[in-house]
Amino acid sequence: MSHDLSLAQNRAFHLARTLMVLVTLFQVDGEYGVLPSDELDDAEVDIIHEFDPYEVRPAH
C-alpha cells in the first residue's frame, strides 16, 4: 500500500507489463494498492484504473 498515487500508478503499469495480466489500481482507507484484477474478487475498494498490458497506447 502507498500514499503516493504516482508511485502506485507506476507499480501497477509495470506489474501489468511484467505479468501480462489485467492489474487494478484501487484505493482503500486513504491508501493506494495494486493487485492482479482476478485476485481482487468483490472487495470493497474504490477502483481507480485498470491497466491492460495489451492496450495499445503511446509511451509516456
Sheet with strand 23-28: strands edge to edge = 31-36, 23-28, 46-51
pTM: 0.83
Q: What pLDDT, on the 0 to 100 scale, is given for residue 41?
A: 81
pLDDT of 59 reads: 58
Length of the chain, in residues: 60
Query: In this predicted model, what pLDDT tens digit does every residue of 6-59 receive, in sequence order?
Result: 999 999 999 999 999 999 999 999 999 999 999 988 778 999 999 999 987 665
25 Rama class: left (phi>0) / alpha (psi -120 to 50) / beta: beta
- Cell numbers 489485467: residue: 22
What is residue 12's predicted lDDT score, i.e. its pLDDT? 94
pLDDT score recorded for residue 1? 78
